[in-house]
Amino acid sequence: METLLSALRLPFGKDGLSDGQLLALARKRDETAIRALIRRYNQRLFRLARSMMKDEQEAEDVVQETYVRAFTALDSFRGDAAFSTWLTRIALNEANGRLRRRRTMVELTEIDRSEPAAGAEIIMFPLNSSALSPEAEAGRVQVRRLLEEAIDRLPEPFRVVFILREIEGMGTEETASLLSLKPETVKTRLFRAKRLLRAELEKALQPRFSDIFPFAGKRCALMADRVIARLRGSV
């Protein structure tokens, strides 16, 4: 009762509550508590699902199914692990199940889907950010797309480890537990993922090195005009 009363007294709603407090309310079907938990873990689950499915819509489906399964089975959550770990494990199982069904379908229909669907790209859930100029925003989007395409080309075992460790900031032990791997295997896969990612980025950026720090066209002409003007003044 005291937990519920303290929640009502919080000035910023339920987003400031701990997972345990939100779960106590969610078990009573408190929709605002459920929404708060969804907001808290949307980013992690979407990134994980997207890294595995390599398709935005399928990733969203995985996240949605994860939440449905979790919130309809809260009574089975005993708190032996963190709620975030339990939720992430459900997402992993859901994504792996879909991948297995996808591979079975490929075998049956003999359709080659070795390449991702055309136009598929990582689209993050909206995040708060300060206003950027159109040029800065365009550059940010271009860099993000370049990184996402490079990550997409990583082998799945390396890609998932990279997302969990480097992007979501999970520890080696927690990642190993989630993926049923040895910590040493997680470290090895992360090392190889970084090495492959570096190679992919170098390959993508190499042709663009000649475009760095451009000084041509009107800028070049104006420089020539200024130099000529100064030379004339010195005569």
- The answer to pTM > 0.75 is no
Query: Rounded mean pLDDT of 123-141?
Result: 58
The distance between the two most distant Cα atoms of the chain, rounded to a whole number of Å, is 91
Same domain, 4 and 79: yes
Contact, 83 vs 77, CB < 8 A? yes
Q: In CATH, what number is assigned to the domain containing residue 177? A: 1.10.10.10
In a domain, 28, yes or no: yes
Q: What is the pLDDT of residue 44?
A: 93
128 within a domain of the structure (yes/no) = no
- Which residues form the domain of 182? 144-212
pLDDT band at 17 (very low <50, low <70, confident <90, very high): very high
At 133, is the secondary structure helix, strand, or coil?
Answer: coil
Q: Are residues 151 and 82 in the same domain?
A: no
Rounded Cα–Cα distance for residues 151 and 175 (Å): 18
- Looking at residues 16-31, what average pLDDT do you find? 93
The CATH number that applies at residue 83 is 1.10.1740.10
Among the listed residues 235, 150, 228, the one whose alpha carbon sits nearest the alpha carbon of residue 193: 150
125 falls within a domain: no
Which DSSP string do the residues of 20-53 spell out, in sequence order? HHHHHHHTTT-HHHHHHHHHHHHHHHHHHHHHHH
Each residue's pLDDT tens digit, 162-206: 999 999 999 999 999 999 999 999 999 999 999 999 998 888 887
For residues 185 and 89, membership in a common domain is answered with: no
If one counts every other C-beta atom within 10 angstroms of the C-beta of residue 110, the result is: 6
